[in-house]
Chain A
Amino acid sequence: DAGVIQSPRHEVTEMGQEVTLRCKPISGHNSLFWYRQTMMRGLELLIYFNNNVPIDDSGMPEDRFSAKMPNASFSTLKIQPSEPRDSAVYFCASSRTAVNTEAFFGQGTRLTVV
């Protein structure tokens, strides 16, 4: 298996622009997580899905952030409009539905908003 695939690996955009991050989870995994990592805040859970349904989005910082999972093999995290404080590494992870199972992470998208 190729693992969790995220794209792009790096994104530099200007303040005010729309940014879309993409994630392909591991086939057969039913849970998908979006995290944001910064030096100050560490690894923050933004939103997670079970069977393509958003279960908890309480970590989404503002209405500028939205996430979708139209099918079991694809998810997006969109920021519109982007701001410099959104600069961070965004990780997608997937796991099997059962509790206590391992989360497999992608390599992350490093977002820089200038």
Chain B
Amino acid sequence: TQLLEQSPQFLSIQEGENLTVYCNSSSVFSSLQWYRQEPGEGPVLLVTVVTGGEVKKLKRLTFQFGDARKDSSLHITAAQPGDTGLYLCAGVAGNTGKLIFGQGTTLQVKP
């Protein structure tokens, strides 16, 4: 069974602080995706990383895929209250497109 472990599960910080969320697995994935979910809505894709060691930036968000394609991280610089939400990593398994999610990290950014 392929599992994705996210840490931390909860994070409460002040506006302007930096933070990093980790997504780890003992399994290799063909790609890693990061989603953000707002209350009452479904998750929405932020980014997909495919190549081991790949780094992608989305404004103040930096995503990295581990060299062995087993882990990933999300770094937010100068967090803002609008970044508040549930962040989910998801691994795509093999060639079937099966999409497995981590438990999620609930982020609260206080003004």
Contacts and interface: CB of A to CB of B under 8 A. Distances in A.
Interface of A: 4, 31, 33, 35, 41-45, 48, 50, 55-56, 91, 93, 95, 97-103, 105-108
Given A43-B104, A102-B48, A108-B42, A95 B97 contact: yes
Contacts, number: 67
A4 B41 CA distance: 12
Nearest to A55: B96
Contact of B88 (A43, A95, A97, A101): A43
A56 B96 contact: yes
Contacts of A93: 42, 99
Contacts of A42: 88, 101-104
Nearest to A93: B42
B109 to A, nearest CB: 21
Interface residues of B, number: 24
Interface of B: 30-31, 33, 40-45, 48, 50, 88, 90, 92, 95-104
B90 to A, nearest CB: 8
B48 A43 contact: no
A99 B103 contact: no
